[in-house]
Amino acid sequence: MEARERTGPLDGLRVIDMSGMISGAFATTMLGDFGADVVMVEHPEIPDSIREWPQKAKNGESLSWKSLGRNKRCITLDLGSEEGREIALLLIKDADVVFENFRPGTMERWGLGPTDVHAVNEEAIMVRLSGYGQTGPKAEKPGFGTVAEGISGWAHANGFPDREPLLPPISLADLTAAQFALQATLMAIFERDVGRGGSGEGQVIDVSLIEPLWRLRFGEVEAYDRMEYVRERTGNRHPGAAPRNIYETEDGYMTLSASNQKTFERVARAIDKPELINDPRFVDNETRVENAKVLDQAIEDWTKQRTTDKAVEVFEAHDAIVGPVYDMADIFEDEQYQARDSIIEVEDPDVGSIKTFAPIPKFSRTPGEVEFLGPRHGEHNEDVYLNELGMSNAEFAKLEETDVI
């Protein structure tokens, strides 16, 4: 069974997505954006939870699902039943990649673990996402991104020093794990198909929600090992660069970063304080970090007297690196987003014409596409089971009657 024809650099790649919620789903969304044929498996009676997430269109359709489920064909299948297992193995038999994010041990209990997968398809790459990973004393504990954001050390370092640790306003652990899962999948495909002639063998990729977010904290493991350094909350300041902050303006806020010397000197001139350049408190980045509070105050005394637009204009005239603080309404109006076609319009049978994220990054020759937004629950059952697996109408009807699909 070949992957259906798509456009994009991953055209020809077939992915069976048995994951739900966010981490695995966002990774397969990215694969689907760039041409992979993604077949998403949901339980017949328990749809993916994202289908109920806000915000919702007037007809009750979840716009979160419309975004996360795009470019995927959705089928229903009870993986825990014997018939469901057999059908799942038929789907896996011709797949390049299989994603799952159940609690460790669940797939093995269903007879769909790595040994079972590779028994029917030795070239399959099995991507496993879980809270703590497949091994270790905590492996079988349930884990959501919120817990990972705490255990990774991220929440401890996020926020202001006089306040409690701060969780992110997005599903950061899940989305970061998705990016690591995505790049790991492409690495494994390269090794199997290309590297040193291609091994021709599949493998298992084990992604926890904790480790990818923790891995972003470069330099901190080494710093603790050598100096017992523990990063504390610094608000919008960066512990390794100054000035770097959000600054209040007459009508809002703006961002500024000037960690290297030349950029800092441009900032000093822009705010009419060239004397800061030779001030011993600010002569290099290290001293500026030590005196960041004083430096930030000098900058904000200047920005508060100007509108955001005017402050940005002056800083940019001095070739400083600055920008406004946008909300989504601002993004929709921004000329840079518009010039790059970052927001595209797609027709959807449930919610009508709607704007969505364009596939990113941009490719010069094989760009991604949004073929359709998140489908209905089980929308592609007939397409996959009848047309691709070759079931008869009677077999299909029986599976529906017995709630296998």
Contacts of 365 (CB under 8 A, 6+ apart): none
Helix (H) or strand (E) holding 345: strand 343-348
Q: Which of these is catalytic: 37, 48, 96, 174?
A: 174
**Torsional sign, CA 164, 169, 174, 179:** negative
318: amino acid identity, one letter: H
DSSP state of 4: P
Please answer whether residues 312 and 327 qualify as being in contact, where contact means their C-beta atoms are separated by less than 8 angstroms. no
Where helices occur in 59-112 by DSSP H, the ranges are 63-68, 82-93, 106-109
C-alpha closest to that of 149 among 231, 219, 236, 209: 209
Contacts of 299 (CB under 8 A, 6+ apart): 243, 245, 247, 256, 267, 271
DSSP state of 382: I
Is 279 known to be catalytic? no
Q: How many CB atoms lie within 10 A of CB 102?
A: 19
CA angle 75/96/204 to nearest 5° reads 105
Q: Cα Rg for the chain, rounded, in angstroms?
A: 25
Enzyme catalytic residues: 174
